[in-house]
Amino acid sequence: MPLTLSSELRQRLLDLATQLRIGLSVEATVALPKLMTDIVEHRRNAGTDELNKLAGLMSECQEQWRRQDWIGLADTLEYDIGNPV
Residue 1 in this model has a pLDDT that exceeds 70: no
- Per the structure, the count of domains in the chain is 1
pLDDT of residue 2: 59
pLDDT band of 84, cuts 50, 70, 90: low
> How confident is the model over 53-63, as a mean pLDDT?
92
Indicate whether 20 belongs to any domain: yes
- pTM score: 0.86
Domain that holds residue 27: 7-82
How far is the C-alpha of 12 from the C-alpha of 7, rounded, in Å? 9
Region 14-18: what's the mean pLDDT? 95
30-61 CB burial, b ≥16 within 10 A, e <16:
eebeebbeebeeebeebeeeeeebbeebeeeb
Residue 44 included in any domain: yes
Residue 2 lies in a domain: no
pLDDT at residue 50, as a whole number = 85
Any domain includes 13: yes
Please report whether residue 46 resides in a domain: yes
